[in-house]
Amino acid sequence: MFRAPIRKLTTAATRQSLKIGLIPADGIGKEVIPAARAAIVALGNDIPKPEFIDLNAGWETFTRTGVALPEETVRVLREECDCALFGSVSSPSRKVTGYSSPIVALRKELDLYANIRPVTSVAPEAGQQPAVDLIVVRENTECLYVKQEQQTIGENGKEARATRLITERASRRIGQMAFELAAARPRKHLTVIHKSNVLSITDGLFRETVRAVPRLPEVNGKYDDVTIMEQLVDSAVYRLFREPEVFDVMVAPNLYGDIISDAAAALVGSLGLIPSVNAGDNFVMGEPVHGSAPDIEGKGIANPIASIRSAALMLRHLGYTKGADRLDLAVDQVIREGKYLTPDLKGKSTTREVLDAVLAKI
C-alpha cells in the first residue's frame, strides 16, 4: 500500500485532539464508516485523542429535508473539524429537481481539488513487491463534473448539452500534486492521461499545463528526476489490464480519473479494497471509492477495508505516519491470511468479522 506522505497539513505535535467529521451518507456508507471509526480508536496513543462529529448529507438526507448537503454540515467541517470521512452516496440516475451530488458539492465547497486513489495489491509475502502499485491523481473540481447541462428542442428532437471546463489553474495545481507524489516514490514516474488528439483545446490545455509544472520558477528543479510520459485515456485503460506494471502515478482530468481508478480496482480484486482522499491545501477527507451498493445494504457483508484504508490515507496526510502504517499493515495481514474476507473477495465473512480481524492485528 502507498505509504509515502502526501502533503502534511499540520505538525502532529501541535494537536491535543483530532476532530473528525463522519458523513456515512447513504447505503453501505452507514456500515463501513463506523468500521473506520473503530479502527481509528484502536490506534490509541499513536494519534491525538479522536473526537468524532456525526454529520448529515446524501440522498436520504435530501428525501427527508429537501437538501442533500446541509449548510450546517459544511459549516461544521470548516469551523470545527480537522479532517473528515465520507461514506457513499446514492445519487439517482435521473434528474431530480433540487438534488445535486453532495460529494461533488463538498469537494468544491472545501476546495478539495485532488482525489488521490492508490491501487495496490497485497504481496503474497510481507516485504515483497506487489504486482500492482499505482496511484491515480484525479482533478476533483472541473471537467464535466461542473454539472452545467441543458436540454433543448431542435430539429432532431431533444438535444442535450454539457459544458466541460478545464482551467490552467486547476490543471497546474493537480499537476503539482501529482509531481509531488511521483517524486516521493521509488520509480519517480508520472503519466499524463488525456484525449487531446480529439479534444485538442480542453485536454490540450490540461496536457500542456501539467507537463509545464517542472518549469515553474517556484519548483526550482524539484522534479528533475521525475520521468514524464503521456497516454491517451482509451489506450491507458487497455494497458492497465494488459501491463499495469508500466504505471506508477497517473494524473487525469476529473471524468477520466474516475473511470480509470474504478477500472484499476478490478486488478486487485474489488472496489471494496480501494481507498481515496479528497485533498486540498487546508483540509483532507477520506472516502472509499466504492458506491452505496444498495443490493447489499443492510446485509452486513459490506467490505470495510476501503474505508479503513481511507482513514489511513487521511491520517498519513495529516502527518500521523505511525498510526496510518498500523492500519495498513493490519489490513495487509488480514487479506494475506485470507481467513476473513467478505463476498466481494469470494469470502463468506461479515463486515463485523473482517473488522474484528483487523482490530486484532492492530
Does 121 reside within a domain? no
Instruction: Quote the cell numbers at residue 292.
Output: 452505496
Q: What is the pLDDT of residue 123?
A: 79
| Cβ contact 254:145 at 8 Å | yes
Does 50 reside within a domain? yes
Instruction: Please check whether residues 258 and 298 belong to one and the same domain.
Output: no
Does 73 reside within a domain? yes
User: Which of 267, 296, 330 is at the close of a domain?
Assistant: 267
**Residue 119 forms beta bridges with which residues?**
134
Instruction: Please check whether residues 263 and 138 belong to one and the same domain.
Output: yes
User: Which of 235, 267, 299 is at the close of a domain?
Assistant: 267
Total domains, the chain: 2
Instruction: Please check whether residues 25 and 97 belong to one and the same domain.
Output: yes
Q: What is the pLDDT of residue 9?
A: 52
Q: What is the pLDDT of residue 130?
A: 83
Q: What is the pLDDT of residue 94?
A: 83
Instruction: Quote the cell numbers at residue 246.
Output: 508500466
Instruction: Please check whether residues 26 and 55 belong to one and the same domain.
Output: yes
Instruction: Please check whether residues 108 and 185 belong to one and the same domain.
Output: no
Instruction: Please check whether residues 174 and 218 belong to one and the same domain.
Output: yes
For 170-227, give the DSSP string: HHHHHHHHHHHHHHTSSS-EEEEEE-TTTSTTHHHHHHHHHHTGGGSTTTTTTTTT-E
Selection from 278, 350, 284, 348 nearest residue 114 by Cα: 278
Does 206 reside within a domain? yes
The question of whether 258 is a catalytic residue gets the answer yes
The question of whether 54 is a catalytic residue gets the answer no
The question of whether 26 is a catalytic residue gets the answer no
Selection from 132, 78, 75 nearest residue 270 by Cα: 132
Q: What is the pLDDT of residue 206?
A: 97
For residue 47, give the 3-state DSSP assignment. Answer: coil
Instruction: Please check whether residues 226 and 313 belong to one and the same domain.
Output: no
| Candidates 82, 113, 145, 256; catalytic one | 145
- The domain of 324 spans 16-112+285-361
Instruction: Please check whether residues 260 and 153 belong to one and the same domain.
Output: yes
* Helix, strand, coil percentages in the chain from 3-state DSSP, rounded to 5: 40, 20, 40
**CATH code of the domain covering residue 258:** 3.40.718.10
| Candidates 49, 234, 238, 299; catalytic one | 234
Kindly state the helix (H) or strand (E) to which residue 83 belongs, with its residue range.
strand 83-88
Instruction: Please check whether residues 232 and 192 belong to one and the same domain.
Output: yes
| Candidates 46, 195, 256, 344; catalytic one | 195
Q: What is the pLDDT of residue 20?
A: 98
Residues of the chain predicted below pLDDT 50: 1-5, 7-8, 10-13
Instruction: Please check whether residues 149 and 262 belong to one and the same domain.
Output: yes
pLDDT in tens, 81-112: 999 999 999 988 788 899 989 999 999 999 99
Does 138 reside within a domain? yes
Predicted TM-score (pTM) of the model is: 0.91
| d(C-alpha 26, C-alpha 68), whole Å | 11
| Candidates 99, 111, 262, 322; catalytic one | 262
| Candidates 258, 328, 332, 344; catalytic one | 258
Does 128 reside within a domain? no
User: Which of 267, 295, 329 is at the close of a domain?
Assistant: 267
Does 273 reside within a domain? no
Does 225 reside within a domain? yes
Q: What is the pLDDT of residue 8?
A: 47
Instruction: Please check whether residues 142 and 32 belong to one and the same domain.
Output: no
Instruction: Please check whether residues 218 and 183 belong to one and the same domain.
Output: yes
| d(C-alpha 251, C-alpha 229), whole Å | 11
